[in-house]
């Protein structure tokens, strides 16, 4: 008895799961890049320091203030002067209070430009203290030389 051979069709894989995974990876990296840019500002060039050490634990409720060389303070994409900074801080504190926390639970991260006068930074700290903020961290760039 003779057995008939059937022509074998080429097997094609389904590309849908691969395309889906590619889009998920693109979305993941876009979100990751946005989180990394929250502590970056083009107006601020950090000073170098050999004594820099990273924080021991992640900061809870960080409020990042960028102080430019001309004394302008950037908070959440808006720019303020030392006199008007309280408006932006009040918005941030409203969010913290909405979480059931107090201003003492927030951490103020100050990123001052390397050419900014120390008095400008002191004025920013004073305004923050007037708003009952007590935890501060200064950001610098590590000098690896």
Q: Which domains are assigned to the chain?
A: 41-142 (3.30.420.270)
Over range 22-27, report the average pLDDT.
Answer: 93
N-terminal to C-terminal alpha carbon distance within the chain:
85
| Short-list 99, 98, 97, CA closest to 133 | 97
pLDDT tens, position by position, 38-50: 566 677 777 777 7
pLDDT tens, position by position, 63-99: 989 999 888 999 988 889 988 999 999 999 999 999 9
Over range 19-40, report the average pLDDT.
Answer: 78
The secondary structure of residue 75, as a DSSP letter, is E
Residue recorded with tokens 């080429």: 10
Helix (H) or strand (E) holding 135: strand 135-138
Q: Furthest-apart CA pair in the chain: how many Å?
A: 101
Over range 113-125, report the average pLDDT.
Answer: 90
Q: How far is CA 144 from CA 48, 52, 141, in A?
A: 9, 10, 9
């Amino acid at each position: 008895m003779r057995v008939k051979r059937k022509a074998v069709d080429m097997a094609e894989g389904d590309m849908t799961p691969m395309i889906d995974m590619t889009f998920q990876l693109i979305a993941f990296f876009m979100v990751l890049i946005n989180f990394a840019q929250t502590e970056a500002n083009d107006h601020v060039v950090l000073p170098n320091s050999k004594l820099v050490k990273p924080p021991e634990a992640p900061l809870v409720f960080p409020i990042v203030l960028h102080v430019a060389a001309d004394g302008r303070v950037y908070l959440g994409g808006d720019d303020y002067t030392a006199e008007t900074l309280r408006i932006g801080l009040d918005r941030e504190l409203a969010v913290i209070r909405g979480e059931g926390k107090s201003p003492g639970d927030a951490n103020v991260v100050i990123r001052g430009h390397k050419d900014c006068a120390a008095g400008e930074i002191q004025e920013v700290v004073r305004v923050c203290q007037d708003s009952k903020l007590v935890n501060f961290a200064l950001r610098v760039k590590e000098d690896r030389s």
